[in-house]
Amino acid sequence: MAKHTAPRTVLVTGANGYIGSAISRSFVRAGWKTYGLICSQKHASALSYNDMIPVLGSFNDPSFPFLTKLNEEGVVFDVVISTTEQLSNYIPHYNAIIPLLHKVVELTKDSDKLATSPGLRPHTESSLLNSPKALRDRANYAMRAFHHGDAFDAAVIRPTNV
Tell me, yes or no, whether 34 lies in a domain: yes
Q: Does 160 map to a domain? A: no
Which strand ranges, in their side-by-side order, compose the sheet holding 9-13?
A: 53-56, 33-38, 9-13, 79-82
Q: What is the pTM of this model?
A: 0.69
Instruction: Confirm whether 22 is domain-assigned.
Output: yes
pLDDT given for residue 118 in this prediction = 64
Residue 158 lies in a domain: no
Q: What CATH number did the domain enclosing 56 receive? A: 3.40.50.720
Is residue 70 within 8 Å of 33, Cβ to Cβ? no
Instruction: Work out the mean pLDDT of the chain and round it to a whole number.
Output: 79
In a domain, 40, yes or no: yes
pLDDT on residue 162:
40
Q: Is residue 153 part of a domain?
A: no
Average pLDDT on 68-78 reads: 88
Write out pLDDT tens, residues 119-159.
656 656 666 666 777 767 767 777 777 777 777 666 665 54
Residue 1 clears pLDDT 50, i.e. is over it: no
| Residue 118 belongs to a domain | no
Instruction: Supply the pLDDT for residue 81.
Output: 87
* Residues spanned by the domain of 86: 9-108
Question: pLDDT digit string (tens) for 88-106?
Answer: 888 888 888 888 888 887 8
In a domain, 134, yes or no: no
Q: pLDDT, tens digit, for every residue of 25-40?
A: 999 999 999 999 998 8
Look at the chain and report how many structural domains it folds into. 1
